[in-house]
Amino acid sequence: MATTGPESGGETAGVIGDTLTAFGTGAYVVDERGAIVAVNAVAERLLGRPAAELVGADAHDLLHRNAHGETLPTSRCRMRPAFLAGRPAQDDGEWFEKGDGTLLPVAWSLTPYDAGTGGPCVLVLFHPREAPAEEPGPAAAPEGTLDELERLALLAEMTTQLTSTLSVDEALRRLVSLVLPRLADWAVIDLISERDEVWRTKVVHVENGVHVSRRDLEGPMAPVPAESPMPLSRALRGVSSTIAGPETYERSPDTGIAVEQRKLFEATGMHSAAIAPIRGLREVLGALTLGRSERADAFTPADLTLLEDITRRAGLALDNARLYQRQRKVAETMQRYLLPQLPRVPGLEMTSRYLPAPDASHVGGDWYDAFSLGDGDTALVIGDVSGHDLDAAAGMAQLRNVLRSYAWSSLDEPPSGVVERVDRAVLRITDVTMATLVLAFLGTDEEGRWTLRWTNAGHPPPLLVTREGVAGYLTEGGGMLLGTATDRSRADGSTVLPPGSTLVLYTDGLVEAPSHVIDEGLERLRRHAAALAHRPVGEFTDELLHRARPADNGDDVALLAVRVGPRPGPV
């Protein structure tokens, strides 16, 4: 089994250990300082050193020697340039010093490795070579072939790259970048949708070292035939991996898929292709085709073993990504379903927007609400429930219902009183652990002016924009967020809304981003809102979202905008 250092976290150690244990050759991982953080049992045996001696030591100082057993300066270390550049490398002419002081001639391969430690790491694979050479240079593998160390390094990099994303598109992009041009000149990915529709998702060619997508060859495909013996059809049914060439499709095509395959070979000039199914845990997800047109060597049956190892890892990654996206879709659908229709109130223009997060892990917590109260006022709510996905969406629904009930049954209470009651109830009768919100009551006073009363439970402050473009935040009525179990009384703020002014309630995804502090986001929102004050309220809202939302925002956004008209007259 693999061994990691005591400073490694349990989760990280488990991930590294699972990877290294799978290799049948010596393997160790070094951090950005060059210190060994994990080794496998094969490395311990080959080096004659226990893990306790290896882990934590500087790999270069401890192991690297020249042919005479002398310590190498770092300037002559063949690993170091690749290590610093973060790129794969290999060499078959070096020596490691064993625990007894003797030299072990080794061939090694290294690749960047995500160990989950927060910093860059490198995976080194090595095995003994036949005989030492005097100051050798890097060995060149035959074109189109990978030796055993290179295969292991590729698979390790494949595992790291594909399992570190939950985006289907990103996983496919990484898959293509890993196989081209290392294994082929062309990569073709056909995926089967959840409705059993086949789509040629990617056709990528390497031209002068650059990946070029052939959009003209991508698109929908015919259904998977049940009986066709042709290679791609068999792969899409999960039957087998196959080597094919243009001659395979010279005879009359038996299915629509065979027609597209003939076109593919004609358009790409591939003389040899290796095709393998991409299998998930429960079903076939598609097929990967690697093709060679510029390289003279054809694929051999031995290449199919590596290709199947690649597609097996790709299948697990795509399965996880699809499951994650399915969860996101459910959470987003639930979120949209639970967000209300806005009431029609004479003298008010109301509009709302909800934008889901680009990352599925941030969907589900933001919400808005607006409803009429029994005394003629209109309740306005904006909030954010802690947590993500279905838990947050379900918690939002619970909190919204509790808030509506208390607001409707407590017409003689100010917003602060309603929120105090909600705060006492939230931990007892809902699954919400923590949330922020603004509750506001909008109505008219005895003089017929539009008035706003509100309380703020730890939420970004409402923004008020006059029709003349004067914008400012309503900072009164602030208090602790919900779920803190505090008994402190909450405060209210109140103001008169000038005719034609716009009230903006929003969630933090509109103003927060990793690249800047929230004060910068608030100032950007204020300036854009002031500049857009003369626009119709729907256009105002759309443009405000477009201009103010940070480009690197990773959260969802809910926004409620209310524009007041002329005085409705005395009540």
Tell me the CATH number for domain 3-146. 3.30.450.20
pLDDT band at 8 (very low <50, low <70, confident <90, very high): very low
Beta carbons of 319 and 285 less than 8 angstroms apart: yes
Classify 352 as helix, strand or coil.
strand
Q: What is the pLDDT of residue 137?
A: 40
* Spatial separation of the C-alpha atoms in residues 426 and 408, rounded to whole Å: 17
* Spatial separation of the C-alpha atoms in residues 92 and 112, rounded to whole Å: 19
Lowest model confidence (mean pLDDT) among 90-99, 152-161, 508-517: 152-161
Q: What is the pLDDT of residue 286?
A: 93
Q: What is the pLDDT of residue 426?
A: 82
Crossing angle, helix 148-163 and helix 10-21, to 10 degrees? 150
Mean pLDDT of 546-569: 83
Count Cα neighbours of 400 within 13 Å in the Cβ-side half-sphere. 23
463-501 tens-digit pLDDT = 999 999 999 999 999 999 998 767 778 999 999 999 999
Q: Output the CA–CA distances (angstroms, integers) from residue 379 to 17, 155, 406, 439, in the order listed.
A: 56, 58, 12, 7
Lowest model confidence (mean pLDDT) among 139-153, 279-293, 413-427, 532-546: 139-153
Task: Take residue 327 and report the two structure tokens written for it.
Answer: 């969860």
Single-letter residue type at 129: R
Q: What is the pLDDT of residue 349?
A: 96
The share of the chain scoring above pLDDT 90, in percent, equals 41
Task: Take residue 547 and report the two structure tokens written for it.
Answer: 């201009």
393 membership: H or E segment, kind and range: helix 389-409
Task: Take residue 490 and report the two structure tokens written for it.
Answer: 């909450």
Lowest model confidence (mean pLDDT) among 387-396, 417-426, 467-476: 387-396
Residue 263 C-alpha from the chain's centroid: 35
Segments making up each domain of the chain, as ranges: 3-146, 165-325, 339-564
226-242 tens-digit pLDDT = 888 899 999 999 988 99
* Spatial separation of the C-alpha atoms in residues 480 and 458, rounded to whole Å: 5
Q: What's the chain's average pLDDT?
A: 84
Q: What is the pLDDT of residue 11?
A: 45
Mean pLDDT of 193-216: 90
Beta carbons of 225 and 261 less than 8 angstroms apart: no
Is it the case that residue 433 has pLDDT exceeding 70? yes
Hey, which CATH number is domain 339-564, 3.40.640.10, 3.40.50.1820, 3.60.40.10, 1.25.40.20?
Answer: 3.60.40.10
* Spatial separation of the C-alpha atoms in residues 381 and 446, rounded to whole Å: 24
Q: What is the pLDDT of residue 101?
A: 87
pTM listed for this prediction:
0.51
Architecture of domain 165-325: 2-Layer Sandwich (3.30)
Is it the case that residue 424 has pLDDT exceeding 80? yes
Q: What is the pLDDT of residue 363?
A: 54
Lowest model confidence (mean pLDDT) among 221-225, 269-273, 333-337, 402-406: 333-337
Q: What is the pLDDT of residue 569?
A: 52
Q: How far apart are the first and last CA of the chain?
A: 80
Is it the case that residue 325 has pLDDT exceeding 50? yes
157-186 tens-digit pLDDT = 888 888 778 788 888 999 999 899 889 999
Is it the case that residue 364 has pLDDT exceeding 70? no
Lowest model confidence (mean pLDDT) among 206-215, 263-272, 466-475: 206-215
Lowest model confidence (mean pLDDT) among 77-91, 171-185, 516-530: 77-91
Mean pLDDT of 42-70: 89
Peptide bond into 181 cis (omega under 30): yes
Classify 198 as helix, strand or coil.
strand
Lowest model confidence (mean pLDDT) among 77-81, 106-110, 446-450: 77-81
Among 89-103, 105-119, 556-570, top mean pLDDT goes to 89-103
Q: What is the pLDDT of residue 441?
A: 97
Q: What is the pLDDT of residue 394?
A: 74
330-353 tens-digit pLDDT = 666 665 666 678 899 999 999 999
Q: What is the pLDDT of residue 389?
A: 58
Domain 3-146 and domain 165-325, same fold? Reply is: yes
* Spatial separation of the C-alpha atoms in residues 8 and 114, rounded to whole Å: 14
